[in-house]
């Protein structure tokens, strides 16, 4: 066989192999679209293998859930269960299956409407829920232990919820149902007990919420309402008394501070007057001291001037000239027979001692 014939044979074989691969791929894609299962958003899938084949997965349920999307499936060989991941709401109320009836510790019957919020886990392990770590099963435990239908899941969750709520709320007395804190504590206790029982099935309880409650006998409602009204009136009276006391104390404090402010105002005015008086006195003293210094200076000048006039020749003529205007102003003969230049006679005439 020639080389060209060998090359042609190999090429034909390669083409045939490619055709087989394309055919297998086409068959696979066709089977995926025809028999495949689409898991919608907000859900997980759980694959179940009905029988074992060589080199295939083992028989039974997968341990982990499958993400949303298109997944392969072979009829009679495998099956995919769809498990929701959104919050499940279980209602127990008088508009539906009937209200939850609870017997209190003192024998009264209370009808309670309650809603339970739950979710299904997508894996087996441990999850922190409501501040506590809860060991739980996964989707395989849910389907194997509770069944594959949502009605079976709902019935189991409702039954466990009713039992635990009735047990926890039954520890309250008739009047304690009006105490929101005690009701809340009882509902939390029931929720934790539900998680302990339902966790192994892959179910987690997020919360149990009491929406409405009423007593079977109207007289109990009226009696408790009257008692609560009385308590409210007593608290209102106590609050009004405290308000009046606080108001009186506030007025007393205001009056005390008004008196203190008035006293400080009067003290300030008095201090201002004292300071002003001291300032005026200081000013008068300094002015008097200044006037005294001036008077003393003038006297010293006059003394020096008199000394100069008394000891200087011709001083009498100077004095006479200085006194001439004064003498000329004297009219009516008040001063007569006096020589204006005779100082000694002037002195004697005016009665000035030497």
Whole-model pTM: value is: 0.55
Is 1 within the bounds of a domain? no
Q: For the chain (length 354 residues), average pLDDT per consecutive 10?
A: 60 75 73 74 90 78 86 83 92 84 87 93 83 84 89 93 94 86 93 92 92 75 68 84 87 87 86 84 84 82 72 62 59 54 61 52
Is 152 within the bounds of a domain? yes
Is 104 within the bounds of a domain? yes
Same domain as 132, residue 77: no
Same domain as 260, residue 289: yes
Same domain as 256, residue 295: yes
Structure tokens at 198: 């339902």
Among 56, 83, 110, give the residue marking a domain's end: 83
Same domain as 119, residue 28: no
SS3 352: coil
| Distant-in-sequence, close-in-space partners of 122: CB < 8 Å, separation ≥ 6 | 44, 64, 65, 83, 85, 138, 139
For residue 310, how many C-alpha atoms fall within 13 Å in the half-sphere facing its CB?
Answer: 8
Same domain as 98, residue 69: no
Of 142, 138, 136, 143, the C-alpha closest to 122 is 138
Q: How many domains does the chain have?
A: 4
Is 4 within the bounds of a domain? no
Is 24 within the bounds of a domain? yes
Same domain as 323, residue 291: no
Q: How many whole angstroms separate alpha carbon 203 and alpha carbon 196?
A: 10
Same domain as 168, residue 94: yes
Contacts 24+ apart (CB under 8 A), 64-69: 64/122, 64/123, 64/138, 65/122, 65/123, 65/138, 65/139, 66/39, 67/39, 68/39, 68/40, 68/41, 68/42, 68/43, 68/44, 69/38, 69/39
Same domain as 143, residue 66: no
Same domain as 92, residue 197: yes
Residue 169's CATH number: 3.30.479.30
Is 3 within the bounds of a domain? no
Among 83, 104, 131, give the residue marking a domain's end: 83
Among 157, 188, 216, give the residue marking a domain's end: 216
Is 324 within the bounds of a domain? yes
Same domain as 101, residue 78: no
Same domain as 272, residue 256: yes
Same domain as 78, residue 37: yes
Q: How far apart, in Å, are the Cα atoms of 232 and each of 226, 235, 236, 238?
A: 10, 5, 6, 10
Residue 151 is part of which domain span?
A: 88-216
> What pairing do the DSSP bridges indicate for beta strands 132-136 and 109-120?
unpaired
Q: What pLDDT is recorded for position 332?
A: 46
Q: Which helix (H) or strand (E) holds 135?
A: strand 132-136
Is 47 within the bounds of a domain? yes
């Amino acid at each position: 066989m020639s080389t060209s014939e060998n090359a042609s044979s190999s090429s034909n074989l390669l083409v045939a192999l490619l055709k087989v691969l394309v055919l297998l791929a086409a068959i696979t894609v066709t089977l995926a679209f025809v028999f495949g299962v689409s898991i919608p958003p907000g859900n997980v899938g759980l694959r179940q293998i009905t029988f074992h084949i060589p080199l295939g997965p083992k028989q039974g349920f997968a341990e982990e859930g499958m993400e949303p999307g298109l997944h392969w499936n072979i009829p009679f060989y495998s099956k995919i269960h769809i498990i929701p991941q959104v919050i499940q709401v279980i209602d127990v109320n008088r508009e539906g299956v009937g209200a939850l009836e609870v017997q209190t510790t003192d024998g009264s019957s209370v009808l309670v409407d309650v809603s339970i919020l739950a979710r299904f886990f997508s894996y087996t392990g441990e999850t922190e829920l409501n501040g506590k770590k809860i060991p739980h099963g996964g989707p395989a435990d849910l389907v194997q232990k509770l069944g594959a239908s949502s009605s079976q899941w709902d019935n189991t969750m409702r039954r466990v919820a009713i039992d635990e709520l009735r047990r926890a709320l039954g520890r309250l007395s008739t009047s304690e149902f009006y105490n929101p804190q005690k009701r809340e504590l009882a509902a939390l206790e029931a929720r934790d007990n539900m998680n302990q029982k339902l966790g192994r099935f892959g179910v987690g309880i997020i919360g149990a919420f009491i929406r409405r409650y009423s007593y079977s006998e109207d007289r109990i409602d009226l009696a408790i309402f009257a008692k609560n009204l009385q308590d409210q009136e007593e608290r209102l009276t106590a609050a009004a008394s405290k308000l009046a006391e606080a108001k009186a104390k506030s007025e007393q404090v205001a009056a005390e501070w008004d008196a203190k402010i008035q006293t400080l105002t009067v003290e300030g005015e008095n201090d201002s007057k004292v300071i002003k008086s001291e300032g005026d006195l200081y000013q008068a003293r300094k002015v008097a001291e200044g006037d005294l210094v001036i008077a003393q200076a003038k006297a010293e000048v006059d003394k020096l001037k008199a000394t100069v006039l008394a000891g200087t020749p011709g001083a009498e003529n100077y004095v006479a000239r200085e006194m001439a205007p004064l003498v000329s102003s004297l009219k009516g003969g008040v001063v007569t027979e006096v020589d204006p230049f005779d100082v000694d006679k002037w002195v004697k005439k005016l009665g000035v001692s030497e």
